[in-house]
């Protein structure tokens, strides 16, 4: 079973936009009500057996079952009688809202932290239509239940053999731009991409966004800093408006539109860079970076602006789509190890050149790290037995034969030298 997501922009009219915003206000209310039931049931089981709190206590019968997803979903028809405005929202949209809460709860139980929180006004940005009997896309419109026909920018047609599984409606730029994420599926099965062809390692950094083991590199566009002065001007104008007024809302929309433009430019750069890599090689190795840790250091602003995590995710998707093998390797010590003799060469961030005192190998720091990423990726391929399963159409991995010789059959001092990559 193959499942993919296609994102399109839609253009609802004024009445439809009002209805969509109303749904986005109703769904958090259902979410919070269900969460309140969940928290009350848990709190009622916290009191001691022989005493109760002097301030307050949750009195729920001991035989009352846990408010599971199915129980709360079955209570929705009763809630609609008590709160008639819930009937304006599609029933399955409310069910997926309850499902969203219990997915968060199950994730909390699994990892042990991150208890579900109440949603504030405007915090819900999307809702889901989970199933369709017929294809909702007809020409250049999409038929959303209880919303009607909405114009859609179908810039990419649905492939033959795929059917629409679900549709998620997204609100962007404070409800002024609307998108749909169409989930399509097919019964076909796509095999995993095998290791084949020409291989490279890539190193991500702030001086250069990307450096490959083949001496090429890509400069880092500073998306946020290049537009920071314009963004600061818009934020200053918004701060001078009376909060809640129409002028304040217009100013907030301008700020949100600027953030949206920055994000679009960053994503466009990541996709184009990933496609350029896939045009050149058939196997890519990258570092398995701790992206969350990078956003907590001194250079967190630059790391967030570069968005290494988004780039790696998009590169993995582009590689899968284009039949390029992609794998991540352990990033520890890639910049502190000589790719020629594997000696440890300690250096600070201010040192931008790699010079090994053992073998005399000299190159740029980022290129040395990229070469180490490639070496580790090839070692993983050989150790996991992925090499040697190629088809008749595949080409030999450049560097694998030399890698076996370079490893020296267990020679401790690595005298075999640098592999010919």
pLDDT in tens, 295-306: 887 888 999 999
Q: How confident is the model at residue 230, as a pLDDT?
A: 95
Please say if the pLDDT value at position 410 is more than 70: no
Q: How confident is the model at residue 84, as a pLDDT?
A: 92
Please say if the pLDDT value at position 289 is more than 70: yes
Q: What is the mean pLDDT of the segment spanning 179-196?
A: 90
Q: What span, in angstroms and rounded, lies between the C-alpha atoms of 340 and 78? A: 71
pLDDT tens per residue, range 7-53: 999 999 999 999 999 999 999 999 999 999 999 888 887 766 666 66
Residue-averaged pLDDT of the chain: 86
pLDDT band, very low/low/confident/very high, at 130 (cuts 50, 70, 90)? very high
> Can you name the residues that pair with 143 across neighbouring β-strands?
149
pLDDT tens per residue, range 216-236: 888 989 999 999 999 999 999
pLDDT band, very low/low/confident/very high, at 319 (cuts 50, 70, 90)? very high
SS3 356: coil
pLDDT tens per residue, range 248-264: 999 999 999 999 999 99
**Strands (DSSP E) found in 314-361:** 325-329, 353-355
Threshold 0.75, pTM exceeds:
yes
Percentage above 90 pLDDT, the chain: 61
Q: What span, in angstroms and rounded, lies between the C-alpha atoms of 251 and 241? A: 8
CB atoms within 10 A of CB 357: 9
Nearest to 342 by CA among 286, 287, 421, 415: 415
Q: How confident is the model at residue 43, as a pLDDT?
A: 83
CA-to-CA separations, 240 to 227, 234, 320, 411, in angstroms, rounded: 21, 10, 48, 70
What Rg value do the Cα atoms of the chain yield, rounded?
27
The separation between the first and the last C-alpha atoms of the chain, rounded to the nearest angstrom, is: 38
Residue 299 backbone dihedrals phi, psi, to 5 degrees: -100, 30
Q: How confident is the model at residue 349, as a pLDDT?
A: 83
Please say if the pLDDT value at position 419 is more than 50: no
Give residue limits of the domains in the chain. 2-43+62-186, 199-220+255-410
CA-to-CA separations, 411 to 337, 348, 415, 419, in angstroms, rounded: 18, 30, 7, 15
To which residue do tokens 């129980």 refer? 71
Q: How confident is the model at residue 192, as a pLDDT?
A: 86
Query: Residue 244 region, left (φ>0) first, then alpha (ψ -120 to 50), else beta?
Result: left
Residue 325 backbone dihedrals phi, psi, to 5 degrees: -75, 130
Q: Provide the Cα torsion 358, 363, 366, 371; round to 10°.
A: -70
Nearest 5°: CA angle at 199, between 193 and 204? 100
Q: How confident is the model at residue 228, as a pLDDT?
A: 93
In b/e form, how buried is each residue of 69-81, taking b as 16+ CB within 10 angstroms? beebbeebeeebe
Percentage above 70 pLDDT, the chain: 89
């Amino acid at each position: 079973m193959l499942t993919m997501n296609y994102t399109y922009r839609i253009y609802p009219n004024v009445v439809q936009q009002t209805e969509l915003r109303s749904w986005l206000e109703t769904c958090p209310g259902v979410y919070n009500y269900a969460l309140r039931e969940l928290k009350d049931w848990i709190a009622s089981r916290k009191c001691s057996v022989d005493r109760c709190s002097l301030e307050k206590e949750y009195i729920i019968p001991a035989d009352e079952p846990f408010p599971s997803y199915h129980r709360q979903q079955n209570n929705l028809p009763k809630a609609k009688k008590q709160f008639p405005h819930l009937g304006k929202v599609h029933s399955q949209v409310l069910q997926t809202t309850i499902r969203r809460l219990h997915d968060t709860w199950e994730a909390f139980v699994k990892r042990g932290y991150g208890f579900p929180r109440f949603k504030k006004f405007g915090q819900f940005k999307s809702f889901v239509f989970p199933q369709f009997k017929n294809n909702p896309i007809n020409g250049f419109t999409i038929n959303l239940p209880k919303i009607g026909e909405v114009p859609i920018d179908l810039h990419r047609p649905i492939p033959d053999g795929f059917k629409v599984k679900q549709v998620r409606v997204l609100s962007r730029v404070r409800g002024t731009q609307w998108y749909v994420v169409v989930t399509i599926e097919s019964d076909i099965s796509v095999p995993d991409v095998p290791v084949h062809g020409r291989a490279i390692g890539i190193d991500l950094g702030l001086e250069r966004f990307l450096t490959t083991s083949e001496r090429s590199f890509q400069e880092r566009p500073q998306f946020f800093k290049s537009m920071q002065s314009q963004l600061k001007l818009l934020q200053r104008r918004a701060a001078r408006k009376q909060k809640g007024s129409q002028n304040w809302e217009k100013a907030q929309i301008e700020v949100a539109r600027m953030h949206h433009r920055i994000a679009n430019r960053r994503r466009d750069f990541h996709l184009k860079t990933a496609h350029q890599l896939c045009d050149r090689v058939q196997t890519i190795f990258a570092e398995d970076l701790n992206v969350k840790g990078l956003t907590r250091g001194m250079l967190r602003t630059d790391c967030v602006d570069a968005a290494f995590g988004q780039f790696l995710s998009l590169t993995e998707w582009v590689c899968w789509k284009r039949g390029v093998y992609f794998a991540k390797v352990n990033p520890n010590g890639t910049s502190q190890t000589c790719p020629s003799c594997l000696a440890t060469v300690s250096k600070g961030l201010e040192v931008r050149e790699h010079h090994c005192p053992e073998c005399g190998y000299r190159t740029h720091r980022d290129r040395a790290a990229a070469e180490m990423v490639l070496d580790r990726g090839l070692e993983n391929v050989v150790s996991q037995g992925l090499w040697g399963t190629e088809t008749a159409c595949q080409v030999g991995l450049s560097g694998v034969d030399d890698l076996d010789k370079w490893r020296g059959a267990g020679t401790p001092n690595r005298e075999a030298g640098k592999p010919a990559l």
